[in-house]
Structure 1
Amino acid sequence: MKTILLTGATGFLGSHLLEALLKEGYSVVILKRSSSNTWRIQHLLDQVKTYDVDCVPLEVAFRDQRIDTVIHTACQYGRNGEPIHKIVESNLMFGLKLLDAATFFNTDTFFNTDTFFNTDMFFNTDMLLQKYLNAYTLSKKQFVEWLHLQSEKIQVVNLKLEHIYGPKDDKTKFVPWVIDQLERQVEEVKLTMGEQERDFVYIDDVISAYLLTLKKTMQMERFTEFDVGTGMLTSVRNFVEEIKRAHETLYGKSNTLLHFGALPYSAGEMMTINVDNKLLTDLGWAFNISIQAGITKIISLKLQSDL
């Protein structure tokens, strides 16, 4: 079975992906920092080989074993006020170092995690935060351009993820934040009108896309890009109202007011998006978890963990 080098394994997406890769029988090597919080993957650490990239050069991981595939999920959003150069170092320079090493050591395939991103998916509408999020978007776009250039030397699979949600997500993200507001029974949750249309895709369906494309790289070009989403758009308002309905089903009637229209739209707000998942569905992928089922699953798991 192939050996996978995985970055971002301690994060939301990476932790779910790590668990799935191990269940599939892959040998997994992870890159992290010595200061990384490993709470999501603590139960898996004895099954993987770990390198702290702030202590040893990342090339060591390639020298120690044959790496067949790199799956790069690590990124820096800048949500905590990190300076722009830190965002660029994480999203562009670290990615380039990883790409250089993979190319030098003749790794077969480089999977990159690209994202659809918009500031309305965060509850904080502060303009300074939006500045950092723009830095995130630009740095990710630049890295994809480098991947195009290097695809002559290494096969590249670029997965453009729509809005992922699921258990173990960062509490500052939109869905966990809304659930937290309901749990704390705040008087009101201030939101925009919520007319923006987004493609919400459950984490398990995203992981299945990684596993499928990983197994079918032989059928792909030197650079292949997939939109990973359900292909169906839902308004932010309907999604939030579904969260409240599911929460009330499990916890009882809530007096929290969802105050749509309390916040203005961000400057340049994208009111809808174009998702074309045909290339992925032609490969054999399909989503299995509806929004209703996904939200109920998150809240049910949260309820169980609180017991």
Structure 2
Amino acid sequence: MHVLLTGATGYLGSHLAHALVAGGVKVSILKRSTSCLTRLADIQHHLAMFDIDEKGIEAPFRSGGHIDAIIHAATSYGRNGENEFEVFKVNTQFPLDLLQTATCFNTETFFNTDTILHEYLNAYALSKQQFSQWGRIFAESTKIQFVNIRLEHIYGPGDDSSKFTTWMIRQCLNRASRIPLTKGEQMRDFIYIEDVVAAYMLMFKNLTGQKKVWQEVALGSGTPVKIRHFAETVKKLTNSDSELDFGAFPYRNNEIMSSSADISTLNAMGWASKWSLEAGLSKVIEMERIE
């Protein structure tokens, strides 16, 4: 099997790259010539790498051999000063171009990493939702099988510092005197990185090349908790004396107050979450202390 992976230099993508290589899958990646390869250093020689800004989007299809499936994990959250159009180009325009190219080269399956956020929350959420809608159009016109993975709140060691989970842990470890938060009543489905990767690998194995042209799969632990509980658990596990100032921030406009994955589809494939919230957080905290 041959997979084209996007976002391979990022957090989720790099974990998927390692799992695919370990599973004996041929892996090509699309990246920029300026991308940092630190997360891929130990498997770099196993990857066929194509710089989209230099060789174009068709390069892996033309010179890498037939691609059976695409796993799309590249994304822009808009947290690094990108404007709305730049977020749109990464989250909608680029994958749509890739999807169109894949159909021209007879790729069987496109696995898309989608968000559970409401489309009107911000530019990131809107652009992700727009692409998933395009994917459904392509699938229903029988051009390609499209598996839309609605990913809940992923966390794990080495995640980006801009993520709430990492920020919260580091605030507590650094014993910040006060940590400003919302009231924390929102329910969130936190899922540990190893559980996420195991689910992707199972979907790749079971769903690639199936006749069902459109399928949406929810991916989370299936056990949501309040943000308040998450923050209090981090404080307890880090033995922090930081003040958790609940209510210091208002909720965002269009804030989702409850989100939880219906994992019945994944359960039917034989997948189940193996990491409890406390076990996952303990592992992240352990690795943060080492670093």
Give the structure-2-normalised TM-score.
0.94
Aligned to 1:256: 242
Using the TM superposition, give the Cα deviation of residue 183 of structure 1 relative to its aligned residue in structure 2, in angstroms.
2.5
Distance in 2, matches of 1:245 and 1:212, equals: 34
Give SS of 1:31's match: strand
Aligned to 1:235: 226
Aligned to 1:140: 128
Of 246, 254, 272, the residue aligned with 1:286 is: 272
Aligned to 1:204: 194
Deviations 1:77-125 (A, max 9, x none): 1112211111111111100111011100001111100112379xxxxxx
Of 137, 149, 159, the residue aligned with 1:159 is: 149
Letter in 1 for 2:235: K
Give SS of 1:113's match: strand
Distance in 1, matches of 2:110 and 2:210, equals: 15
Letter in 2 for 1:176: T
Aligned to 2:80: 80
Counterparts of 1:1-307 in structure 2, within 5 Å, are 2-64=1-63, 65-117=65-117, 134-151=122-139, 152-217=142-207, 221-248=212-239, 254-304=240-290, 306=291
Using the TM superposition, give the Cα deviation of residue 227 of structure 1 relative to its aligned residue in structure 2, in angstroms.
0.2
**CA RMSD across the alignment:** 1.6
Using the TM superposition, give the Cα deviation of residue 231 of structure 1 relative to its aligned residue in structure 2, in angstroms.
1.4
Give SS of 1:51's match: strand
Give SS of 2:60's match: helix
Contact 1:69 1:110 in 2 (8 A): yes
Using the TM superposition, give the Cα deviation of residue 273 of structure 1 relative to its aligned residue in structure 2, in angstroms.
2.3
Using the TM superposition, give the Cα deviation of residue 184 of structure 1 relative to its aligned residue in structure 2, in angstroms.
2.1
Give SS of 1:273's match: coil
For structure 2, the 5+ residue unaligned runs are none
Using the TM superposition, give the Cα deviation of residue 300 of structure 1 relative to its aligned residue in structure 2, in angstroms.
1.0
Using the TM superposition, give the Cα deviation of residue 219 of structure 1 relative to its aligned residue in structure 2, in angstroms.
5.3
Letter in 1 for 2:220: G
Distance in 2, matches of 1:44 and 1:116, equals: 31
Deviations 1:143-201 (A, max 9, x none): 11111111111111111100000012110110111122122221110001111101111
Using the TM superposition, give the Cα deviation of residue 53 of structure 1 relative to its aligned residue in structure 2, in angstroms.
0.7
Contact 2:10 2:39 in 1 (8 A): yes
Give SS of 2:176's match: coil
Change (3 A) 1:118 1:290: farther
Letter in 1 for 2:3: I
Change (3 A) 1:13 1:220: farther
Contact 2:172 2:234 in 1 (8 A): no
Contact 2:118 2:126 in 1 (8 A): no
Name whichever of 140-149 and 273-282 sits farther off.
273-282
Letter in 1 for 2:134: W
